[in-house]
Amino acid sequence: MPANRAPAEIGMTVHNVDTPALLIDLDAFDRNVRRMAQQAANAGVALRPHAKTHKCPAIALKQIALGAVGVCCQKVSEAEAMVDGGVQDVLISNEIVGHQKLARLVALAQRARIAVCVDDRENIAALGQAAQAAKIALNVLVEINVGADRCGAAPGEPALELAHQVSTTAGLSFAGLQAYYGSAQHLRTAEQRSEAIGAAIRHARQTRDMLHRSSLECRIISGAGTGTYSLEAGSGVYNELQPGSYVFMDVDYARNRADDGRPFSEFEHSLFVYTTVMSHTTADRAVVDAGMKALSVDSGMPAVSGIEGAEYVGASDEHGTLKLSAAAPPIRLGDKMRLIPGHCDPTVNLHEWYVGVRNDRVEALWQITARGPGF
Amino acid sequence: MPANRAPAEIGMTVHNVDTPALLIDLDAFDRNVRRMAQQAANAGVALRPHAKTHKCPAIALKQIALGAVGVCCQKVSEAEAMVDGGVQDVLISNEIVGHQKLARLVALAQRARIAVCVDDRENIAALGQAAQAAKIALNVLVEINVGADRCGAAPGEPALELAHQVSTTAGLSFAGLQAYYGSAQHLRTAEQRSEAIGAAIRHARQTRDMLHRSSLECRIISGAGTGTYSLEAGSGVYNELQPGSYVFMDVDYARNRADDGRPFSEFEHSLFVYTTVMSHTTADRAVVDAGMKALSVDSGMPAVSGIEGAEYVGASDEHGTLKLSAAAPPIRLGDKMRLIPGHCDPTVNLHEWYVGVRNDRVEALWQITARGPGF
Its ipTM equals 0.96
What is the model's pLDDT at position A119? Answer: 98
What is the model's pLDDT at position B3? Answer: 61
Comparing alpha-carbon positions, the chain A residue that sits nearest to B7 is A375
Comparing alpha-carbon positions, the chain A residue that sits nearest to B332 is A122
- Which of A19, A123, A319 has the CB atom closest to B375's CB atom? A19
Question: Phi and psi dihedrals of A74, rounded to 5?
Answer: -110, -15
- Which of B18, B316, B373 has the CB atom closest to A350's CB atom? B373
What is the model's pLDDT at position A2? Answer: 56
The C-alpha of B42 sits at a distance from chain A's nearest C-alpha, in angstroms, of: 30
Contacts of A52 in chain B (CB under 8 A): 317-318
* Nearest by Cα to A288 from B315, B373, B306: B373
What is chain A's Cα-based Rg? 22
**Mean pLDDT of each 10-residue bin along chain A, 375 residues long:** 83 98 98 98 98 98 98 98 98 98 98 98 98 98 97 98 98 98 94 96 98 97 97 98 98 91 89 98 98 97 97 97 97 98 98 98 98 95
Exposure string over A82-113, b if 16+ CB within 10 A, otherwise e: bbbbebebbbbbbbbbbeebbebbbbbbeebe
Do residues B343 and B351 lie in contact, with contact meaning Cβ atoms separated by under 8 Å? no
What is the model's pLDDT at position B264? Answer: 78
Distance CA B92, CA B87 (A): 13
What is the model's pLDDT at position A132? Answer: 98
List, for chain B, all residue ranges whose pLDDT scores fall below the cut of 50: none
* Nearest by Cα to B78 from B65, B91, B66, B68: B91
| Burial category of A213 from C-beta neighbours within 10 Å (exposed 0-12, middle 13-18, buried 19 and up) | exposed
Q: Per the CB < 8 Å rule, is A279 touching B152?
A: yes
* Nearest by Cα to A155 from A209, A222, A215: A209
What is the model's pLDDT at position B24? Answer: 98
Q: Could you tell me the strand order of the sheet in which B138-143 lies?
A: B46-47, B240-241, B220-223, B172-178, B138-143, B113-118, B89-95, B71-73
State which amino acid sits at residue B374: G
Distance CA B245, CA B242 (A): 10
Comparing alpha-carbon positions, the chain B residue that sits nearest to A367 is B3
* Model confidence, pTM: 0.97
Question: Phi and psi dihedrals of A135, rounded to 5?
Answer: 55, 45
Do residues A197 and A225 lie in contact, with contact meaning Cβ atoms separated by under 8 Å? no
Question: Phi and psi dihedrals of B230, rounded to 5?
Answer: -65, -30
Distance CA B122, CA A261 (A): 48
What is the model's pLDDT at position B275? Answer: 98
What is the model's pLDDT at position A63? Answer: 98
Interface test with B, best of A110, A279, A371 (most B CBs within 10 A): A279
